[in-house]
A and B are shown apart, each in its own frame.
Chain A
Amino acid sequence: MVQRCKGFRDLSPEEMIRFRFIEQVSRDCCLKWGCLEVKTPTLEYLHLFTSTGTLTPGMLGKAYSFLDWDGWSGQRVVLRPDGTIPVARFYIDNMVEKGLAKLFYVTNIFRFEETGKEARERWQGGVELIGVNSPLADVELIIMALGVLTSIGIKDVELRLSHAGLIRGLLSKLGLSPQEQARIFDQILDGDTEALARIKSEKPKLGKALTSLLGLKGKSSGILKNLKALFNHSLPELEPHIDNFINIVDLLETAGYRYQIDITSGRGFEYYTGIISQLFVGAEKVGGGGRYDALIPLMGGGDIPASGFALYFDSLMDLVKPAMLSRPLTQRILIKAEPEVVRHGFDIARHLHEAGYVAELQLEGQEPADLRWILEVRSKAPLFVLTDRLKHKTFGIKTASEVLKLLGEGDADKDSIA
């Protein structure tokens, strides 16, 4: 009857090796770009996520919200459904006086999924760059994310770009009420790819412009420049967004990065206001991010712009092959201590740990398995017998320091006693 919760997963020792590898590489890369690491609580107040008015009801309806033991006022708490908003809350709480901040995190997020076949808990690592609004900042984040993936050893990453400002600007031109605009934007964000197409048919006058913009796909800034020339007069409100988009892709081209422009893809980016980037390996989405300049103002943190990205560890773990994993730096040693000298067994284990080895005492029924070294601790001379199972050699040794010396020489060809 023992079972784990529906929709939640265990991470086995083998999966944890891959998880820690991704986490370590992500952390190393981001710290080298000047990021500082933060952790935020698993529980947050629900109103942290509702107060901005940016998250869709569909997304919020999937948050695990409940009344905790302090909830007599009706104040609900949630299991963190999003990685960015808690970091923005942390910034407002603790760092708003410091201005620019580059914050890195690894966290789990929780969203209900009806069938229980998909994960309800997901892991992600991300960076939030708060306090600056420039194409250079947007491009630095994209290059940082791509750098992490390269360092992990993942190849053939496709970068897809869209622009939330452009989509919102487009919707504002359709003559819809603010509520209707919000509804359509929600539908797009909730993954309804037909939402824009349906409006298009209802507004034939805008058909041409919409067809061009909605079908916008390309691999260079040229296509954006062409569109700008075409619609500069009929849709001048879109110009700042197109210019911003052009600046960003020009910088990416200058830096030697390739990308794909796909304007309609925006799912899961509720609070974004500018560039939206998505990272794919084949059909698998492994990360994404973008600019969200309105979020911190809406949270009451002042007029502070921000952007960020997150990499999806669950997807990346499936892509990490054993060959990509770093080889363990330590050698493992199994210590067999006779009962009367078990204290010496613990002593030599301590010496080995201090020297950087993985060493463990043999427990009842434990087989050497894939360990290379076995160290017998005896009550009579020789006090230590070290067996190299790889080279089938055995050494009689008098002292602990000699054991360390011999191990330090690795598989040097010493005279063995067998």
Chain B
Amino acid sequence: MPIKIALPKGRLLAETATLLRRADWGLGSYHEAARLYRLKSARFPQLSAKVFHERDIPIQVAIGNYDLGICGLDWVEELLAKYPSSALVKVKNLGYGGGVLYLVGSKSEGASSVEKIRARPGVICIASEYPNLAESLALYLRLKQFSIFPLWGGADVYPPESADLALITGKTGQKSFDYDLVSVSNVRSYSTFLIANKGSWETKDLSELLGSIEDGLPLSEKHPPSSEVARVPVAARHPFSNQAVEDTVRLALPDGHQQEPTVSLLNGAGIWVEDYPSPTGNRRPAVNLDGVVVKVIRPQDMPLQVANGNFDLAITGKDWVREHLYQFPSSPVVELLNLKFGRVKIVAVVSQDLPVSDIYSLRQFSSEQLRPLRVASEYVNIADKFARDNHLGMYRIIPTWGASEAFLPEDADLLIENTQTGRTIAKHNLKIIDTIGQSSACLIGNISVACSSRKKARIDSIIKALRVTVGDS
């Protein structure tokens, strides 16, 4: 009987690879340098493995695409917090990759205890990559009125200006955090877990695999702890809030691969940002403009933050603006300027092996299936609208967190993805059946926020300088 396991890439890859090497699985290509997603075991011929972003693994195991998975318990609990009846079994604590989820707030804002937070008037905002756990925590703490900002990353840079609290990961016993943050509550500890699909656990004989993992465990536990995370030097922390708030323009710049073209654009407009991109991960770099402060956050998170008035301007992608507006049509976010770099197409993709060439044949294919069409995407709202508008009948959206092309054909039937050249899609034996839209970097703002004439002049000045640089006069 074939057995499928979902393995993590990223932070858990090295220690998981060590464990499975001790267990003698013979997954030769499962190491950090390899870029293979599909693996076979030399020792267990019936076993196939696939490499995922850690956050995807509980979902993949719960929906039955995989019998087993290895990932952090934090992501398992994040899924169970919202979907407690998920078909998941927590099989074994593997002991490594541990940490603690902390609720943190700004020390300077006096967010040092739950009581102090609870006593604050108005809405308490919590930013986190773990929005479901954050909501459960808010209910548990009996916060009277709260908002959760779901994030793709960088939650620790949000308090105090962009959120009251952040739910973030840290080390066991950690006392101090970057950006003047302090622990309000030690929420839960976690480590790496072996998980199983409930149906597989009840019906399949997994004993040989489990036994081999047991054999590998004692040695893996002796694995030295991972090195300290590089801390942002105090000197590099630019005080985002210690300026005249009323007139200060708050600018969000992207992290990740859009940093280099963003720097070129800004420099072309005479804007110089110190320590950006930052080798130490500094998310509060200094800028050479008076009355302007900068934070570096994920482009995916920017539209929601601009909508909530936490930033006045942000450089993100049109794709993420579209994703945001499909979810929240009444959002006050508007595109101010097309920045013309980072051009990609948003496309609908299927496997080359599927007898589908366009949306019409996809609809036909979908109607002939006994199970719902599985649509994988990082853009869950764009994907949902695409499926709705094209009458795909019964479908299920599978959210992904990167390397989405590896989902086809085993774990999804359709992928909504962005592509620059189409080469990655072709390399994975996939084909484009529809182009949903074009995207490029853009500058966004909030139409409903009133501001002083001085601040407006500063915003207009930045827009004007960028407009000249991109040749959009």
Contact = CB atoms under 8 A, between A and B. Distances in A.
Q: Bin chain A's interface residue count.
A: 20 to 34
Contacts of B84: 114
A43 B67 CA distance: 38
Contact of B331 (A52, A72, A75): A72
A69 B329 contact: yes
A74 B308 CA distance: 9
A114 B85 CA distance: 6
A50 B147 contact: no
Contacts of B329: 69
Contacts of A71: 327-328
A116 B329 CA distance: 32
Contacts of B147: 73-76
B184 interface: no
A50 B143 contact: yes
A53 B304 CA distance: 28
B327 A67 contact: yes
Nearest to B118: A53
A243 to B, nearest CB: 31
B85 A115 contact: yes
Contacts of A50: 138-139, 142-146
A172 interface: no
A74 B331 CA distance: 11
A71 B148 CA distance: 10
A1 B307 contact: no
A73 B308 contact: yes
Interface of B: 84-85, 123, 125, 135-136, 138-140, 142-149, 304, 307-308, 324, 327-333, 370, 394
Contact of A74 (B149, B327, B330): B149
B328 A69 contact: yes
Contacts of B308: 72-74
A2 to B, nearest CB: 10
Given A65-B135, A72-B328, A74-B123, 13 more contacts: A47-B123, A50-B144, A60-B139, A61-B136, A71-B327, A71-B328, A73-B307, A74-B125, A74-B149, A75-B123, A114-B84, A115-B85, A116-B85
B15 to A, nearest CB: 33
Nearest to B148: A74
Contacts of B125: 74
A115 B143 CA distance: 28
11 contacts: A1-B370, A47-B123, A50-B139, A50-B144, A53-B144, A60-B139, A61-B136, A69-B328, A73-B147, A74-B125, A76-B147
- 3 closest A-B pairs by beta carbon, nearest first, are A74-B147, A72-B328, A47-B145
Contacts of A47: 123, 144-146
Given A47-B145, A65-B135, A72 B140 contact: no
A76 B82 CA distance: 14
Contacts of A53: 142, 144
A51 interface: yes
Contacts of B123: 47, 74-75
Contacts of A57: 136, 139-140, 142
Nearest to A68: B328
Contacts of A65: 135
A177 to B, nearest CB: 11
Nearest to A54: B142
Given A65-B135, A69-B328, A1 B394 contact: yes
Nearest to A7: B85
Contacts of A70: 328, 330
Interface in A79-133: 114-116
A193 B327 CA distance: 43
Contacts of B328: 67, 69-72
Nearest to A48: B145
Contacts of A1: 370, 394
